[in-house]
Amino acid sequence: MTDFKYLFYPGPSKPYAQISGYVSDAIQKNILGLNHRSSQFVEIVRQTRKMLGQKWKIPKNYRVFFCASATECWEIVLQNWVLKENIHVFNGAFGEKWADYAAQLCPRAKIKCFPFGIEERLPTHFQGECDSVICLTHNETSNGTYLPEECILEIKKNNPDALIALDATSSMGGFNLHWQLGDIWLASVQKCIGLPAGMALLICSERAIERALQINLSQHYNSITRLEANMQQFQTTHTPNTLGIYLLYRLLQDLPPLAEQAKHLQIRAASLYSFFDNEIDLLSPLVQNPSLRSPSVITLSAQVEVIQKIKRKAEENTILLGNGYGTWKNTTIRIANFPAINDSDFDFLKDFFSTLNLGST
Amino acid sequence: MTDFKYLFYPGPSKPYAQISGYVSDAIQKNILGLNHRSSQFVEIVRQTRKMLGQKWKIPKNYRVFFCASATECWEIVLQNWVLKENIHVFNGAFGEKWADYAAQLCPRAKIKCFPFGIEERLPTHFQGECDSVICLTHNETSNGTYLPEECILEIKKNNPDALIALDATSSMGGFNLHWQLGDIWLASVQKCIGLPAGMALLICSERAIERALQINLSQHYNSITRLEANMQQFQTTHTPNTLGIYLLYRLLQDLPPLAEQAKHLQIRAASLYSFFDNEIDLLSPLVQNPSLRSPSVITLSAQVEVIQKIKRKAEENTILLGNGYGTWKNTTIRIANFPAINDSDFDFLKDFFSTLNLGST
């Protein structure tokens, strides 16, 4: 087993270094032994929600639920809000998976798919029925693209009655998200949020909650009606990942406001794209259009042999890079530009690429 | 917020003291940054399953899945195996909740309920259809009873075609379970297993897996067909609680065989029951029949005023006791006798009760 020192895999990825200390505190203070319905633990959940308002600027009328994975969140969206029609717009593997999942889970609904290319802007021409959910992938981890805000806004304007659901798994926690653009935001915590895997956040507008309550599905333990009834008291329908919630609470207290972190991430992304655009031969960003390049998942493209050599040499240098995914499996590598990764790690990474002679075999 | 030093809540309960060190190791070795499909992480899952065979004696032909909560496992059982008929036998709140859940989730199935009293042995007279699942609560956390093995065996003999599913949430990890008695075992890890909340184990016999593959439900991300296809390669359908799996792996390596731990737990339980039977006035075990008393959840009964006084005095002594639950909410307290709790904590607890004058107001 290679002992990697430099982790750039886009998820699960390197968690914040502070985690270990937080866990020690949690054990010393007996937080982990608290019942999740005790007043002490409920207070931690309440404070966590408060911090998400202060540091992440999540509006007060948006509800935050704690789930187990982004995949579970996909299921919750499809089960709770999709009746007659659902719209999926995607340009990569994760968006497509969500659409495939919808086709299986909602056999009675009309699932409309609008695939688009990685150099194209998000299509906005379609119209959804009033009961439809429009499922978008805010940051497509498989190819390193992300959605320009103005396109999401246009979709919102064209579809005033539909709910906009955004999978922000590799952007939430690193991007200064404009929450009002979406009705449902979901993300697992092991990517841009920088926490250990095993938890996800599902963030819903008042409108989304109201519609779920009207639809009133309640047969699943994770039905929105049940989640909402519990979360009104800062509780969950079942025993949640209490350590995950506590870690998020501690992290939010210690980190600067998200807007500052996002700024830093953007600057670092610009520097990385410039580096790979200009300084490294035989390897270049997969996405040519700069306005579509994800700041948090940098995807680099090369010939198969070059990719193989990079991976081999990276491993020798204890650097873990993300493999290519789906269509781009053998011709790309992916580099997570997540807030938990230090600037010095990126300096090491750049040095590695600078001294690597990709032309030789 | 009271800073409790002595935790006896039956779940989430005190995790093993070693957890903090394991988390430090996980961060230092960059385990948390490993992709869950990487060969390194797959090896951890493989080793964890191997250790469960060695230390817990889970048979090789039983499959272990990693889920998010026991509640999710309830849903998985109901979704994957219940067709025409389902049988629920219970004497407490958690068993009843599972039955209520079945009635909502499986509206087309005939849900047969066999409630029984806390002083009664598990009824065994019923017969299930060949497609039925017989859902039992191995250790009922709400009242501190558990099921004698010979009754489970009798049910098994009377219902050769049904699958026996056992919720062992507050017994798995502390009891020397005879796995062959059941086809489906489920438990969350924050009780008797002594890990932080946010994970559950679902353990299935070959017969259970085969039946699920025949039924072939696949629309959910946690459908058994999908879980099984992934677990054949020691992988999961989605990003699991990788820290939880790693903690279980480390814990299994360090702990003695489960049979030894179970022996210790039984001796401690016998001593506790004897203490409360004989030495404390005005407070006595809720369950009179010794053969039905749970070794891991000691439930003690008294007048409402006495219970209130105990709770108040316990809090003053930084002792966290479990509240009563459901029917027994105001007239019982519960004490977790889980392996992660030290003998010295129980000495402190006994001293507390010995010096408490319950007769005075």
Domain boundary among B254, B273, B305: B254
- Whether residues A140 and A219 share a domain: the answer is yes
- Whether residues A245 and A272 share a domain: the answer is no
Please state the φ and ψ torsions of residue B82, each to the nearest 5 degrees: -90, 120
β-sheet bridge partners, residue A137 = A167
- ipTM value of the model? 0.94
Q: Would you give per-residue pLDDT tens digits along chain B (361 residues)?
A: 567 889 999 978 889 989 989 998 998 888 888 889 999 999 999 999 999 999 999 999 999 999 999 999 999 999 999 999 999 999 999 999 999 999 999 999 999 999 999 999 999 999 999 899 999 999 999 999 999 999 999 999 999 999 999 999 999 999 999 999 999 999 999 999 999 999 999 999 999 999 999 999 999 999 999 999 999 999 999 999 999 999 999 999 999 999 999 999 999 999 999 999 999 999 999 999 999 999 999 999 999 999 999 999 999 999 999 999 988 999 999 999 999 999 999 999 999 999 998 876 5
- Whether residues A233 and A265 share a domain: the answer is no
Residue B360 in domain: no
Residue with tokens 């599905």: A217
Residues of B in contact with A68 (CB under 8 A): 68-69, 72, 198, 241
- Whether residues B227 and B211 share a domain: the answer is yes
pLDDT value at residue A147: 96
Sign for the CA dihedral angle at B279, B281, B283, B285 comes to positive
Mutate to test the interface with A, among B6, B37, B47, B69 (most CBs of A within 10 A): B69
Option in B20, B199, B240 nearest A24 (CB)? B20
Residue B361 in domain: no
Q: Does A274 touch chain B (CB under 8 A)?
A: no
Query: Strands B133-137 and B163-167, how do they pair?
Result: parallel
Interface contact A68-B241, CB threshold 8 A: yes
- CA A249 to chain centroid, in Å, comes to 18
- Whether residues A88 and A129 share a domain: the answer is yes
Residue A1 in domain: no
- Whether residues B335 and B243 share a domain: the answer is no
Structure tokens at A25: 């505190």
Residue B119 in domain: yes
The DSSP H or E segment spanning A93 is helix A93-105
Q: Return the residue of B nearest to A71 by Cα.
A: B238
Mutate to test the interface with B, among A2, A7, A14, A27 (most CBs of B within 10 A): A27
- Whether residues A58 and A167 share a domain: the answer is yes
On whether the CB atoms of residues A64 and A70 are closer than 8 A, the answer is: no
Domain that residue B338 falls in: 6-15+257-355
Round to whole Å and give the CA distance between B224 and B212: 6
Option in A12, A23, A34 nearest B35 (CB)? A12
- Residue A39's CATH number: 3.40.640.10
Which residues touch A299 (CB under 8 Å, ≥6 apart)?
A: A143, A144, A285, A286, A287, A324, A328, A332, A333, A334, A335
Residue B309 in domain: yes
pLDDT value at residue B33: 83
Option in A35, A71, A238 nearest B9 (CB)? A35
Beta strands in chain B (DSSP E): 6-7, 63-67, 85-90, 110-115, 133-137, 139-140, 145-146, 163-167, 184-188, 200-204, 284-285, 297-301, 319-320, 322-323, 332-336
- Rounded to a whole number of angstroms, the distance from the CA of B220 to the nearest CA of chain A is 7
| Mean pLDDT, chain A, whole residue set | 95
Q: Does A320 touch chain B (CB under 8 A)?
A: yes
- Whether residues A199 and A320 share a domain: the answer is no
- Residue A273's CATH number: 3.90.1150.10
- Whether residues B47 and B126 share a domain: the answer is yes
Say what the alpha-carbon torsion angle B263, B269, B271, B276 is, to the nearest 10 degrees. -170
pLDDT value at residue A33: 83
Residue B1 in domain: no
Round to whole Å and give the CA distance between A233 and A45: 9
Instruction: Give per-residue pLDDT as tens, A310-358.
Output: 999 999 999 999 999 988 999 999 999 999 999 999 999 999 999 998 8
pLDDT value at residue B361: 55
Q: Does A218 touch chain B (CB under 8 A)?
A: yes
pLDDT value at residue A11: 78
Give the count of domains, chain A: 2
Q: Does A199 touch chain B (CB under 8 A)?
A: yes
Structure tokens at B242: 């990788």
Domain boundary among B239, B254, B269: B254
Round to whole Å and give the CA distance between A83 and A162: 12
Residue A223 in domain: yes
Round to whole Å and give the CA distance between B78 and B133: 8
Residue A101 in domain: yes
pLDDT value at residue B27: 86
Q: Does B291 touch chain A (CB under 8 A)?
A: no
Which residues of chain A carry a pLDDT beneath 70?
Answer: 1-2, 360-361
- Whether residues A54 and A133 share a domain: the answer is yes
- Whether residues B69 and B175 share a domain: the answer is yes
Q: Does A188 touch chain B (CB under 8 A)?
A: yes
Domain boundary among B254, B286, B310: B254
Interface contact B70-A199, CB threshold 8 A: no
Option in A23, A34, A71 nearest B12 (CB)? A34
Round to whole Å and give the CA distance between A295 and A297: 6
DSSP secondary structure letter of residue A321: P
- Whether residues A108 and A204 share a domain: the answer is yes
On whether the CB atoms of residues A114 and A95 are closer than 8 A, the answer is: no
Q: Does B198 touch chain A (CB under 8 A)?
A: yes
Interface contact B190-A240, CB threshold 8 A: no
pLDDT value at residue B2: 60
